[in-house]
């Protein structure tokens, strides 16, 4: 179901208007996060701000945290917000 169809209130496959399960998301189902102190999720592991964060840790003598692909729901559950560069 596309967002316009959902906003019109058309019935979904569950026969429900405005079904929360069928509401389209503007974000991909799988996103990228750093397992360190970052507070964002990214569209790609090539995001300039993700790379800058990793580089900043290295320049300060630290070990950058691993970067992983996770389900959007996992990233949201971690309290992550969409990267402004990726989704802005």
Question: What would the pLDDT profile of 8-20 be if each residue is shown by its tens digit?
Answer: 999 999 999 999 8
Tell me what the mean pLDDT of segment 41-49 comes to. 97
Ranges of each domain in the chain? 26-87
Lowest mean pLDDT across 2-16, 37-51, 56-70: 2-16
- Per-residue pLDDT, 23: 87
SS3 of the chain: the string is CCHHHHHHCCECCCCCECCCCCCCCCCCCEEEEECCCCCEEECCCCCHHHHHHHHHHHHCCCCCCCEEEEEHHHHHHCCCEECHHHHC
Using an 8 Å Cβ cutoff, are 65 and 36 in contact? Answer: yes
How is residue 56 written in tokens?
């900043």
């Amino acid at each position: 179901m596309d967002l316009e169809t959902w906003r019109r209130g058309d019935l979904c496959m569950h026969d429900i208007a405005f079904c929360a399960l069928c509401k389209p998301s503007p974000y991909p189902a799988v996103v990228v996060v750093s397992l360190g102190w970052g507070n964002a999720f990214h569209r790609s592991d090539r995001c300039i701000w993700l790379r800058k964060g990793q580089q900043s840790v290295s320049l300060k003598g630290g070990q950058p945290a691993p970067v992983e692909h996770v389900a959007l729901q996992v990233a949201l559950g971690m309290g992550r917000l969409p990267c402004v560069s990726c989704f802005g």
